[in-house]
Structure 1
Amino acid sequence: VVLAGNHQDTGEPFLVVEPTGGGWGASRGKDGEVGQFCVGDGETYNVPVEMAELRYGIMVDEYNFHTDGAGAGEFRGGSGCVRSYRAMADGQSFTASFGRNKFPAWGSAGGENGSYNYFEIHRADGTMEGPFGVVARLTLNKDDVVAMYTCTGGGYGDPFDRDPQQVALDAKNGFITPEQACEDYGVILDPASFKVTGFSEARSTGRKEVGC
């Protein structure tokens, strides 16, 4: 991700050159890592929101986990990230190139596929452009927002074999919804307390086509 322009207060030029963390695939015995940089990026540091807003001509509207519920498995794929930059002045330039922007991360040993990387441009007039995987020198004006979504890694193993209490904890921590807990894992949760209240017919019989 490369974002350049002039600071809205000082007029000084700024340049953001930043990799974006994503989710890693699960493996036998371990959930995927959440919001990690690619191993090839080396000693890459996360830019704190406060420092980015002070030095660059942007506001960070959102910096969160990308909890899209993908990557179900006995061991769950790690969640990617959502990071949204709001331009604070006209005439900024945005360039980005996200790999794996057409095909989702693969699941393994019965695990479900993860998701893919993309970004959207939300214009100040309410229109939206995208999703994109690659764009070069796109102009951003004041209050335009670029929202970047990185993928959830693929799951490992049959989702119906995941510990129900771990499924409940995933929902409580916001990685999946109670609906996804039932649909993908066959675990029925109380939506208020996140306690396990039962199991779907699909999980009990092993027939996924039955649904939740």
Structure 2
Amino acid sequence: MYFLGGDRGQVINAGGPQSLDEVLLREGSILQPRSPAPLGMRGLTMMRLLAAINGLLNVGGGKAPAAHSAYVVAMLRGSYTDDTGESQRFLLVDGLGVGYGGRDHADGIDAVYFVAQENYPVEFLETSYPVRLKSYGIAEDSGGPGRHRGGTGIVREYEILADDANLSIRIDSVRNPPWGVHGGMNGGSGYAVVNPGTPQERKLVPLSDGNRLLKGDILRIVTGGGGGFGHPYDRAAEDVLEDVLGGFVSRESAERDYGVVIAHGKVDAEATQRRRANRPAAKTFHRMEYVDVVS
């Protein structure tokens, strides 16, 4: 990680990692459990490990990216009535993108699904499964504020057309959102809710199975973002304005977190200068608050 992150000219598959001679793991740890310990959620373990390594590099004086969210997997299974009146079974596994951490030279990557970079089009889902996508877009304010903003997560809203379905959902970094670094603030957390804004609204446990859904239910999944890199007050005001106009950052967050006042679609330069004169103090990491050590 240090080798690849420290030299931007390196290509990941160019053989650099082959220079590693040995990897030592502690037996009985989450990375090398003792049999017959159950194994699962390898994706979450891998994503947490990568963030931990990046954190160590930053403590050691490096400039690794801020922490990232772990991609979300939703598995919907059940039955529906086809055009002939016959009952059919289905299994929908949807991988949802999240935000990656801000970098020392650029913002974090928005709405990305790790290695495969998958982004199933709305039409693919609607023609293949008994669901209708009501909305699909960027989750505003999910990217951690910073000189380089954390990448944003997404909002994906499904209308259930199946007669009966069960949902398995996997959302990580909810209680402990991805940390920001070098003055950057933490990214947002994800969540899943059924029938939002109605008397039947219910929030789902982020890591859960057996969530029953019926025809006509609305399932909204919001994924988390990455942490910010560098103090938010050091971000160019025009970049903050662009994020606000693009739906990545709210006006409230622009003023509260970035110290940028926006009025009538433009930066209020005088008000922004006054607000940024009171620069909040920062420490190495941020997770709900500024700290020097993340545990």
Alignment of 1:119-158 (within 5 A): 119-122=192-195, 126-158=199-231
Q: Percent identity?
A: 29
C-alpha separation between the residues in 2 aligned to 1:114 and 1:134?
19
2:244 is paired with a residue whose SS is helix
C-alpha separation between the residues in 1 aligned to 2:82 and 2:135?
22
> How big is the shift at 1:93?
1.3
2:240 is paired with a residue whose SS is helix
1:108 equivalent in structure 2: 181
1:166 equivalent in structure 2: 239
2:127 is paired with a residue whose SS is helix
1:17 equivalent in structure 2: 93
C-alpha separation between the residues in 2 aligned to 1:184 and 1:125?
31
C-alpha separation between the residues in 2 aligned to 1:134 and 1:79?
21
The unaligned stretches of length 5 or more in structure 1 are none
C-alpha separation between the residues in 1 aligned to 2:244 and 2:221?
23
C-alpha separation between the residues in 2 aligned to 1:51 and 1:132?
27
Task: Give the counterpart letter for 1:17 in structure 2.
Answer: V
State the 4+ residue runs in structure 1 displaced beyond 6 angstroms.
none
Question: Larger relative CO (CA 8 A, sep 6+): 1 or 2?
Answer: 1
2:97 is paired with a residue whose SS is coil
The unaligned stretches of length 5 or more in structure 2 are 1-73, 282-295
Task: Name the one with the larger strand percent.
Answer: 1
Task: Quickly say closer, same or farther: Cα 1:206–1:99, change in 2 above 3 A.
Answer: closer
- Is the deviation greater in 135-144 or in 115-124? 115-124
Task: Quickly say closer, same or farther: Cα 1:32–1:201, change in 2 above 3 A.
Answer: same
Alignment of 1:58-207 (within 5 A): 58-68=131-141, 70-122=143-195, 126-190=199-263, 192-198=264-270, 199-207=272-280
Task: Compute the RMSD of aligned alpha carbons.
Answer: 2.1
Contact 1:69–1:180, Cα closer than 8 Å, also in 2:
no
Contact 1:123–1:144, Cα closer than 8 Å, also in 2:
no
TM-score with structure 2 length normalisation? 0.64
Task: Quickly say closer, same or farther: Cα 1:7–1:90, change in 2 above 3 A.
Answer: closer
Task: Give the counterpart letter for 1:111 in structure 2.
Answer: G
2:32 equivalent in structure 1: none
C-alpha separation between the residues in 2 aligned to 1:167 and 1:152?
17
> How big is the shift at 1:123?
7.5
Which structure: larger Rg?
Answer: 2
C-alpha separation between the residues in 2 aligned to 1:63 and 1:8?
26
1:36 equivalent in structure 2: 112
- Is the deviation greater in 157-166 or in 42-51? 42-51
Map Cα deviations across residues 136-181 of structure 1 (whole Å, 9 max, x no partner).
1211101112211111110011111111111111111111122221
Q: How many residues align?
A: 204
Task: Quickly say closer, same or farther: Cα 1:93–1:113, change in 2 above 3 A.
Answer: same
1:51 aligns with 2:127: no
Task: Quickly say closer, same or farther: Cα 1:6–1:76, change in 2 above 3 A.
Answer: same
C-alpha separation between the residues in 2 aligned to 1:89 and 1:110?
47
Contact 2:110–2:152, Cα closer than 8 Å, also in 1:
yes
Task: Quickly say closer, same or farther: Cα 1:69–1:99, change in 2 above 3 A.
Answer: closer
TM-score with structure 1 length normalisation? 0.87
> How big is the shift at 1:7?
3.5
